[in-house]
Amino acid sequence: MNLEEAIKWVDSTLEAKTGKKLTIPEKEILKAAWDNEPYNAVADSLYMSVGHIKDLASLLWKRLSDLLDEKVTKNNFRHLLLQQSATSTQSSLNIVENDTYQTEDRKGNILIVDDLIENLHFLNDILSKQGYKVRSVTNGNMALRTIRNNPPDVILLDIKMPDIDGYQVCSILKAEEEISDIPIIFLSALNEVFDKVKAFEVGGVDYITKPFQTEEVIARIQTHLTLQQQKAQLRQEIEKHQQTAEILYQSRAILASLLNSSRDGIAAMQAVRDMVTGEIEDFRYLLVNPVFAKILGKKREELTNNLGQKQLLNQLIPGFFKQLVQVVETGESLEQEFFLETKLQKKGYELIAVKLGDGFSMTIREVKDYGVLGEEGIWKNAQLNYQM
């Protein structure tokens, strides 16, 4: 199995299981893991922050851990896929056909931690019949190893156990970031002293008392599975929003860099219409690059923060405002030559105005430098002389 085959397998298997394909950032994360490259290389290539890439990677490794039924990390991703491919290529390709991984059959992955075998058998039986995937361990240390290697969706945790009790197990789990979000439901007998306050303080979300009532067990588990699914959906929406915001920020930064480094004057203006007649009565600047402002002899703030551009446009070129109104209303572009003259200098320009939404974009480029004003009103240039 090579990199391309690995990504194709993960992509198709995740889509079959969850209905969602790998995103572009997730594919880049897998490539980095396969080639043992750092996350900052991924961040640089996608114009995203390293922190955002690490957050995406953490969720991706959890999804793959559920898929492979084994803890997957950046360091072991390539090894696990190569190992699986070597032992059973066909099994790897068809893993989605196993009932365990079919979305409609697999309702949740439940881990039961209890030292009483009869409790394990009872809970395993009722939950398996409901379509849950169930695993069982009999002490706290086994639970910690199992959860770290293959995190479940919900943990049913007995309070009293021979090595470390349920409170201690819960505290340890909540202190580890990768597994701290797993809901823990405590199990306790009616005749046992059960400190409910302590159970919630160490991170438990609920409790069930023995003897177990089938309906109660199923209802409580399903409630917390639903809450987890809603939280996961919310995280995905937040990630999409963050990714969109980051891409937008990078796009704006690139646009600003292009505008600020351009040798041409560039501006965009929006029509200001009369609220009654709908006719264009003025224009408002949306953006102005430094060269454009310099050509007009204005500061950018003077242009972008003020209305009253009609008069300024007509001073630049007689009848210019009316011409720009035609660009907006008809959609026909405008090409125009003009010159600007100061006491000491005269320059020629050409401009192009193109409809943009309910407004237009305008580019101004210098085409002639008539030079400086010499004696007797003669414009002198190294190549050309013009008599005024």
Q: Which domains does the chain have, with CATH numbers?
A: 1-84 (1.10.10), 107-227 (3.40.50.2300), 261-365 (3.30.450.20)
Q: Shortest CA distance to 281 belongs to which of 315, 318, 313, 316? A: 313
pLDDT for the residue numbered 323: 94
The pTM score is 0.44
> d(Cα 179, Cα 62) in Å, to the nearest integer?
10
Report the pLDDT value the prediction gives residue 95, as an integer from 0 to 100. Answer: 29
Mean pLDDT of the chain: 80
CB-CB contact of 297 with 308 (8 Å): no
What pLDDT, on the 0 to 100 scale, is given for residue 363?
93
Distance between CA 55 and CA 242 in Å, rounded? 11
Dmax (CA) for the chain in angstroms is 113
Looking at residue 388, its pLDDT comes to 29
In this prediction, residue 72 carries a pLDDT of 85
Report d(CA 363, CA 352) in Å as an integer: 5
User: Which regions of the chain are under pLDDT 70?
Assistant: 17-19, 46-48, 84-106, 190-193, 305, 342-344, 369-388
pLDDT value at residue 380: 43
φ/ψ region of 265 (left if φ > 0, alpha if ψ in -120 to 50, else beta) reads beta
pLDDT at 204: 92
Predicted local distance difference test score (pLDDT) of residue 325: 94
Residue type, 77: F
The secondary structure of residue 289, as a DSSP letter, is: -
**Is the backbone of residue 148 left (phi > 0), alpha (psi -120 to 50) or beta?**
alpha
Q: How far is it, in rounded angstroms, from Cα 138 to Cα 117?
A: 8
Residue 167, H or E segment? helix 166-174
Angle between helices 24-34 and 39-46 in degrees, nearest 10: 150
